Amino acid sequence: MTETITHDVLIIGSGIAGLRAAIEASRASHGKLSIGVVSKVHAMRSHSVCAQGGTGAVLHTDRGDSLEAHIFDTIKGSDYLADQDAVERLVSLAPSEIYQLEHWGMPWSRESDGRLAQRAFGGHGFPRATFAGDRVGFYEMQTLYDTCLRYSNIEFYHEWFVTGLLVDKEGFRGATAIELRTGDFYAFKAKAGIIATGGAGRLYSFATYSHSSTADGLAMAYRAGIPLKDMEFIQFHPTGLVPSGVLITEGARGDGGILVNKEGERFMKKYAPEKLELGPRDIVARAIAREIKEGHGFRDASGLEYVHLDLRHLGAEKIKERLSEIREVCIQLRGIDPIDQPIPVRYVCHFTMGGVHANIDGATPVKGLWAAGEAACISVNGANRLGTNSTATCLVWGGITGHSAAEYAMQHHSADFPQQTVTSEEKRIYDSIFRGAGTENPYDVKQELERTMDEHANVFRTGEGLGEALKRIRVLKHRAYQHVEDTAREFNTNLTNVLELQSMLEVAEIVLMGAHARTESRGAHFRLDFPKRDDQQWLKHTLAYLTPDGPKLDYCPVTITRYQPKERTY
Ligand SMILES: Cc1cc2nc3c(=O)[nH]c(=O)nc-3n(C[C@H](O)[C@H](O)[C@H](O)COP(=O)(O)OP(=O)(O)OC[C@H]3O[C@@H](n4cnc5c(N)ncnc54)[C@H](O)[C@@H]3O)c2cc1C
């Protein structure tokens, strides 16, 4: 019989969203509930520690910023696909999250008079990226993790890999997981749950994401009957360092960095004459892709083409003070110092706008189960996220879902979970995969998956390419995850990589189907064969459901409150 661990609230994922949720669940229950936080990596190695440039919030209304302006910038940035009520909630609650973090010890960067400093970011009409040098994610995570440790009713399961959700017709019941240290299989039983497992960017080879961002939580939700929403919208950040793909924060352009092509031309004046390098990411990424396509890029020894991000005119002092991490990254990974040399950059996979279908409260269609952070599609990002709005979203909906999950758990009794699902999950993992047979190398399959996504579901897409990619992914789905070579139980990364690959293939198919069906261009989804936005047909969210015949697409309306869609110019 599988060993069972019981909590009142189970949080899957310990990035900014998961940690913020844990604190709020603990506070809302006045320490009465037991809260389990499960993470496949140590909490402080969660992808969120990579966030660099800032968290968006309106703080300086006396200087001209306003909630209204942040709301409008976000909706326009989303190419009008964001749910406007959700954006309004994000923007109204983000400032209090900044001050809350401050009270928990966050070392925000400051101006000389002690005010919190804010820098400019793409698509924002006012500098509202609240930052801590260029290590905002690391400091936010440190602050949240330290705060969690003060609550004795929050228990961490570091390096436990969740394999599936336990859901019955009444609602959420728990999850199954492997303790990586021993390889043992457990069932978690809980009254309420929160999926906070982050994005799916490792579907691509050139990505800013941590290697742990493999879509597990999205696939778990999908397998449990929850639709995934707007998955075709994958963000490509304009400035990934060549050839590693490590991010060079948009804060570098916010602080004055410029983009230059092989001819020495500051090309953004052709694409976003007013905002230039501070246009939204979809537009700047496409501009770089066009420059490269038209032969204005440089070529790296790796074969990757790129343009230059030039910071030299900012001066050594500013670079050292405000952009010290990216300077170190350039020196360590590329052997160049941005004080003296331009940085080679190109567009890079960076963010998943879609995710687990959730309403404005972060509630999924399964009772007792919420989703927060990048894993959730509450729809504040629509077709293109503005930089700094993700960490803000993680904080705001971490708080909202933590509170709601705690309230729910206090009002409900613990129910038995579906033992049959636990048994079949254990069989799937240990009988079919761990003791399975086959010759296929999962790492080759993963590389083929990445190549397919890089080639056909990138900045520019076509119906033909997406159709071809779908065929390839369906073949890969049948070839993959039959067995593992490594039969040790302790820290068997071969096994977890195979499980991750299964999730990635499932989610890739949904990305491709949504992109293939959407015969328009909106935000980050640009179809060369349908280059215009088509509000008549496509001002709607995509929902992908699992059926016995594979994924099935459906659609639901976008919530428009104050801003009717208009042409987007910058
Ligand atoms: C380099 C970089 C810089 C960025 N900079 C900024 C920025 O300046 N401002 C901004 O707003 N946004 C930024 N972003 C985006 C932002 O960092 C992320 O969207 C955000 O941190 C996601 O946080 P999260 O809590 O949703 O998930 P994550 O931090 O991705 O955490 C996911 C968690 O889920 C766990 N997990 C996943 N699968 C499983 C499983 N099977 N079992 C158990 N646990 C699991 C992981 O262990 C982890 O704890 C940046 C992104 C990148 C890549």
Q: Please check the confidence at residue 482 and state whether its pLDDT lies above 80.
A: no
Q: Please check the confidence at residue 37 and state whether its pLDDT lies above 90.
A: yes
| 434-467: pLDDT as tens digits | 888 888 889 999 999 999 999 999 999 999 999 9
Task: Give, in order, the Cα–Cα distances in Å from 16 to each of 101, 139, 461.
Answer: 11, 10, 32
| Exposed e or buried b per residue across 136-156, where buried means at least 16 C-beta atoms within 10 angstroms of its C-beta | bbbbbbbbbbebbeebebbeb
Identity of the residue numbered 555: Y
> How far away, in angstroms, is 199 Cα from ligand 1 center?
7
Percentage of the chain lying above the pLDDT 70 cut: 100
Using the atom order of ligand 1, give the atom closest to the CA of residue 374: 26
User: Taking Cα atoms as reference points, which of 250, 549, 247 lies closest to residue 387?
Assistant: 250
SS3 content of the chain, % helix, strand, coil (to 5): 40, 20, 40
d(CA 100, CA 104): 6
Q: What is the mean pLDDT of residues 510-516?
A: 98
Longest CA–CA span in the chain (Å) reads: 68
| Residue 213 in contact with ligand 1 by CB distance below 6 A | yes
The secondary structure of residue 485, as a DSSP letter, is: S
| 8 Å CB contact between 513 and 552 | no
| Residue 353 in contact with ligand 1 by CB distance below 6 A | no
pLDDT at 440: 87
| Residue 17 in contact with ligand 1 by CB distance below 6 A | yes
> How far away, in angstroms, is 375 Cα from ligand 1 center?
9
If one residue of 10, 14, 48 were mutated to test the ligand 1 pocket, choosing by the most ligand atoms within 8 A of its CB, it would be: 48
If one residue of 10, 24, 46 were mutated to test the ligand 1 pocket, choosing by the most ligand atoms within 8 A of its CB, it would be: 46
Six-digit token string for 301: 């020894």
Using the atom order of ligand 1, give the atom closest to the CA of residue 163: 41
d(CA 379, CA 357): 9
| 8 Å CB contact between 227 and 554 | yes
pLDDT at 333: 95
Q: How far is CA 306 from the centre of its chain?
A: 24
User: Taking Cα atoms as reference points, which of 457, 454, 74, 385 lies closest to residue 232?
Assistant: 457
Which residues are identified as catalytic?
237, 253
Backbone angles phi and psi of 274, in degrees to 5: -90, -50
pLDDT at 481: 64
| Residue 171 in contact with ligand 1 by CB distance below 6 A | no
Q: How far is CA 48 from the centre of its chain?
A: 9
Q: Please check the confidence at residue 408 and state whether its pLDDT lies above 80.
A: yes
Q: Whose CA is nearest to atom 6 of ligand 1?
A: 51
pLDDT at 426: 95
R_g of the chain computed on alpha carbons: 22
Q: What is the mean pLDDT of residues 507-519?
A: 98
| 8 Å CB contact between 336 and 226 | no
Q: Whose CA is nearest to atom 50 of ligand 1?
A: 51
User: How many Cα atoms sit within 13 Å of 549 on the Cβ side?
Assistant: 2
Task: Give, in order, the Cα–Cα distances in Å from 408 to each of 294, 356, 411.
Answer: 56, 20, 5
pLDDT at 557: 98
Q: How far is CA 159 from the centre of its chain?
A: 20
> How far away, in angstroms, is 557 Cα from ligand 1 center?
28
> How far away, in angstroms, is 15 Cα from ligand 1 center?
6
| Residue 247 in contact with ligand 1 by CB distance below 6 A | yes
pLDDT at 1: 78
If one residue of 222, 390, 499 were mutated to test the ligand 1 pocket, choosing by the most ligand atoms within 8 A of its CB, it would be: 390
> How far away, in angstroms, is 123 Cα from ligand 1 center?
22
| Residue 15 in contact with ligand 1 by CB distance below 6 A | yes
> How far away, in angstroms, is 145 Cα from ligand 1 center?
14
Show the DSSP H helices in 178-238 as ranges.
216-223
Q: How much is the pTM?
A: 0.97
Q: Please check the confidence at residue 352 and state whether its pLDDT lies above 70.
A: yes
Task: Give, in order, the Cα–Cα distances in Å from 193 to each of 158, 360, 475, 503.
Answer: 17, 17, 34, 20
| Residue 240 in contact with ligand 1 by CB distance below 6 A | no
| 8 Å CB contact between 75 and 125 | no
pLDDT at 480: 72
Q: What is the mean pLDDT of residues 30-39?
A: 96
3-state secondary structure 67-95: HHHHHHHHHHHCCCCCCHHHHHHHHHHHH
pLDDT at 416: 85
Residue spans of beta strands (DSSP E) within 212-315? 228-229, 234-241, 258-260, 298-299, 305-310
| Residue 352 in contact with ligand 1 by CB distance below 6 A | no
Q: Please check the confidence at residue 76 and state whether its pLDDT lies above 80.
A: yes
pLDDT at 56: 98
Q: What is the mean pLDDT of residues 16-27?
A: 98
Q: How far is CA 9 from the centre of its chain?
A: 23
Using the atom order of ligand 1, give the atom closest to the CA of residue 390: 11
